A = this chain, B = another copy of it.
Amino acid sequence: MSRVALICGGGQFPLVAARAAQKRGLDVFLLGLRGVASQEIEAFPHIWLAIGQLGAAFREISSRDIRNVCLIGGLGRPEFSDLRLDWGGIKRLPEIFSLLKGGDNHTLKGVIALFESEGLKVIGVDSLAPELLAAEGPMNRLPLPADLAEDLSLGRRCLGDLSAYDCGQALVVARRRIIAIEAVEGTDGMLARVAELREIGRWRAKGPAGLLVKAPKAGQDLRVDLPAIGPETVAAAARGGLRGLAVAAGKVLVLDRAEIAAQAESAGLFLYGFSTELPA
């Protein structure tokens, strides 16, 4: 692998990943989704495409003799009417219809299959730049408090059971009690709710309490759907009055790790990577 195409959704992740890949000596080529990806992708070799222009995407990639593709960055769930299909997209209409139904996992598996059917290899960010993922153990100088071990275990088991329903990558747990479970609102939306629940006294706890637990779903394809935390997540956790964040080591993007670990520490929050090799 010396060349890699990045299909870029929104946010900073595609840019950080592209820079990290370049640092490792890879030739990167960015395909920015119009209206979604940051203008800053233009700092790299790039083109712009509408969502659904599959024919153009495959053509541009193969004409550059690229075999590895990485799908990265945020992308709202497109409705069929959002798609600007080119002929390459229209040829694949039945697949596209079917992949827009069901949970996110189902949709993403379909997207991967579309690329693979063109002989491309879909790779994850972990192959491009493993340093962007959560480390194992404490990531700042605040350890995981011993009295939270049981809550972490409860949270991990609950997320594991929710996996079967293709929903829920995160939850907040405090003193054996599940305070909030994420579904469509996303982790930051859930954390904003936790802050509200405390404000209105619906969840009552003195001082910092509870922790965020975040992990991929079982069976989630980490190549295209890596859970992530960013500075907003840490800020939202602080506003929610949590004690810290526990994320699956090697399976959650932490961008930028050093920066976020420091941000958490100065907010008094631990940032811990739990090993998913060990049972919850």
A interface residues (Cβ-Cβ under 8 A, vs B) = 76-77, 79, 101-103, 106, 154, 157-158, 161-162, 164-168, 171, 175-181, 183-186, 189, 193, 197, 201-204
Distance A40 CA – B101 CA, assembled complex (angstroms): 50
Please tell me if the beta carbons of A185 and B165 are within 8 angstroms of each other in the complex: no
B residues less than 8 Å from A76 (CB atoms): 201-202, 204
Distance A166 CA – B179 CA, assembled complex (angstroms): 11
Please tell me if the beta carbons of A184 and B162 are within 8 angstroms of each other in the complex: no
B residues less than 8 Å from A168 (CB atoms): 178, 181
Give A182 Cβ to nearest chain B Cβ, in Å.
8
Give A101 Cβ to nearest chain B Cβ, in Å.
6
Q: Which residue of B lies closest to A178 (CB)?
A: B167
B residues less than 8 Å from A193 (CB atoms): 185, 193
Please tell me if the beta carbons of A178 and B79 are within 8 angstroms of each other in the complex: no
Please tell me if the beta carbons of B184 and A202 are within 8 angstroms of each other in the complex: yes
Please tell me if the beta carbons of A185 and B162 are within 8 angstroms of each other in the complex: no
B residues less than 8 Å from A165 (CB atoms): 154, 157-158, 161, 178
Oligomer copy total: 2
Please tell me if the beta carbons of B167 and A181 are within 8 angstroms of each other in the complex: yes
Distance A246 CA – B197 CA, assembled complex (angstroms): 26
Please tell me if the beta carbons of A178 and B166 are within 8 angstroms of each other in the complex: yes
B residues less than 8 Å from A79 (CB atoms): 204
Please tell me if the beta carbons of B185 and A177 are within 8 angstroms of each other in the complex: no
Please tell me if the beta carbons of B178 and A102 are within 8 angstroms of each other in the complex: no
B residues less than 8 Å from A77 (CB atoms): 204
Distance A187 CA – B271 CA, assembled complex (angstroms): 31
Please tell me if the beta carbons of B166 and A158 are within 8 angstroms of each other in the complex: no
Pick the contact of A162: B102, B158, B179, B197 (CB < 8 A): B158
B residues less than 8 Å from A157 (CB atoms): 165
Q: Which residue of B lies closest to A202 (CB)?
A: B184
Distance A158 CA – B163 CA, assembled complex (angstroms): 10
Interchain residue pairs with CB less than 8 A apart (23): A76-B201, A76-B204, A102-B175, A102-B176, A103-B178, A106-B176, A154-B165, A161-B164, A161-B165, A165-B178, A166-B178, A167-B181, A168-B178, A168-B181, A178-B183, A179-B183, A180-B183, A180-B184, A180-B185, A184-B202, A184-B203, A186-B202, A189-B202
